Amino acid sequence: MKASHKSTLIKFAILIPCFSFCLTLTGCTVKIANAVNKALTFRDWQMYSSDIKYWRFDGEKGRVRENSQGTYNLMIADDNSYIRYTIDYGSDEYLGSVRVKSFDSDLKPYVEFLQWSSKDLDERNKTMAELDSRPELKSRDFTVVNEKDTNEPLLIVSRDQGFYFKPWLYAMTRLEVSKVILMSYQIKADNSKGVKNKTDYDKVGL
């Protein structure tokens, strides 16, 4: 048995004796349940909220839909080896992952969008198709647009919803893409320093 799995099973064994006692304590039930779930599934990450925003995008009208703003959840590895930006619709919709071991290539489409968005409108219109055709964007189902009427540069994320449904489109502004880049650099820095995130085990005092 791998050492990591053995360590997880030991933690799970420690949790069981205190389980029934903790169930009687206010607020402890959810914490214990999360910790047990983490042990049983060998989960090495935690979910966090963020202020990184997205909006639903109407591809036919070429603009952001009204009252459609949401925020990404962050799935961060306990050892900060990766971060995944997700939307929870019962099942997760992923913007994408940024991993320390492939940091530059994972971050490349976001950086290229910012570089494109800094150009004037005429230049953005001329180079839009070329940017959309790049493998780093196509492989992630990313495209770029200038929003109709406002001409604001947007990164568009397309996510398939099944054979009978149109893909859902999500829009991100320059500010929100910048937040993705900054957050990813923070994770990389914490990983290089050996920083470990608090987990559900820590929340129940183990």
The residue that leads in pLDDT, 115 or 91, is 115
Q: Are residues 85 and 129 in the same domain?
A: yes
Q: Are residues 14 and 101 in the same domain?
A: no
Q: Are residues 6 and 35 in the same domain?
A: yes
Q: Are residues 128 and 62 in the same domain?
A: yes
Alpha carbon distance 114, 174 (integer Å): 6
Average pLDDT score over residue span 55-78: 94
Give a three-class secondary structure readout of the chain. CCHHHHHHHHHHHHHHHHHHHHCCCCCHHHHHHHHHHHHHCCCCEEEEEEEEEEEEEECCCCEEEEEEEEEEEEEEECCCCEEEEEEEECEEEEEEEEEHHHHHHHHHHHHHHHHHHCCCHHHHHHHHHHHHCCHHHHCCCEEEEECCCCCCEEEEEEECCCCCCCCEEEEECHHHHHHHHHHHHHHHHHHHCCCCCCCHHHHCCC
Give the rounded percent of residues in the chain with a pLDDT score beyond 70.
72
Q: Indicate if the pLDDT at residue 39 is higher than 70.
A: no
Summary mean pLDDT of the chain = 83
Q: Indicate if the pLDDT at residue 16 is higher than 50.
A: no
Q: Are residues 192 and 98 in the same domain?
A: yes
Average pLDDT score over residue span 103-124: 97
Question: Which domain range does residue 49 map to?
Answer: 44-203
Average pLDDT score over residue span 82-108: 86
Q: Are residues 23 and 98 in the same domain?
A: no
Q: Indicate if the pLDDT at residue 196 is higher than 70.
A: yes
> Could you read off the pLDDT of 142-193 as tens digits, one per residue?
999 999 999 999 999 998 776 777 888 999 999 999 999 999 999 999 999 9
Per-residue pLDDT band for 200 (boundaries 50, 70, 90) equals: low
Q: Are residues 52 and 128 in the same domain?
A: yes
Q: Are residues 34 and 81 in the same domain?
A: no
Q: Name the domain count of the chain.
A: 2
**Confidence (pTM):** 0.78
Q: Are residues 13 and 115 in the same domain?
A: no
Q: What residues contact 206, with CB distance under 8 A and at least 6 apart?
A: 11, 14, 15, 35
Q: Are residues 97 and 176 in the same domain?
A: yes
Q: Are residues 38 and 51 in the same domain?
A: no
Q: Indicate if the pLDDT at residue 20 is higher than 50.
A: no
Lowest-pLDDT choice from 25-34, 99-108, 114-123, 127-136: 25-34
| pLDDT in the model for residue 19 | 46
Q: Indicate if the pLDDT at residue 24 is higher than 50.
A: no
